[in-house]
Structure 1
Amino acid sequence: MRSLTIALAVVSAATAVALAPSAAAAPQCVNTGPTTTQCDTPGHSQITTSPPAMNDNAWWPYGGIVVGFPW
C-alpha cells in the first residue's frame, strides 16, 4: 500500500510539472513610435521610451568651426 501511495505521488508531481504553463513566457513587443516600445505578457505591460538622438552640432555651421575671423 505504501509503495502505491509513493508511486501515485510521483506520477501526480510529474503530471503537474509537465502540464504547468511556462512561467518565463517571452513578451510580445511592438514598436509604437520611433523611440517607444510596448511589451506585453499576460497580466503585465511595459512601455519603454527614450529621447530622440540629438546631433549636437546641428545648429553650428561646419561642425562648430568659426569662419570669417581674420587670424
Structure 2
Amino acid sequence: MKSLSRYVAPVLAAAGIGAAIVAAPAAAAAPQCTNIGPNTTQCQTNGSSQIVTSPSVQTSPYWGWPWGGGISISLGGWGK
C-alpha cells in the first residue's frame, strides 16, 4: 500500500495541472483593426492603439544616383 500512495500524489498533481491548462481562458488581446486610409490601418486592443502605415507603390522606376538624381561630378574633356 505504501508504494501505491507514493505514485498517486504525482499523478493527481499532473492531472490537476493539465486540467488547469485546458480550462484557462484564451487570451482576449486580439486587436480590432480598421482601414482609415489607402495605406493606413489602425488597430486597437483594450488599453492601446497602433497606427500602421506603408508607403505607396512606386509607379515610375528609380534608376538611382549615377543615372538620375543625386550629385554629378564632371571630369570634363573625355573623348577629345
Greater per-residue strand proportion: 1
Report which of the two structures shows the higher radius of gyration computed on alpha carbons.
Answer: 2
TM-score, structure 1 as length reference: 0.49
Higher relative contact order (CA 8 A, sep 6+): 1
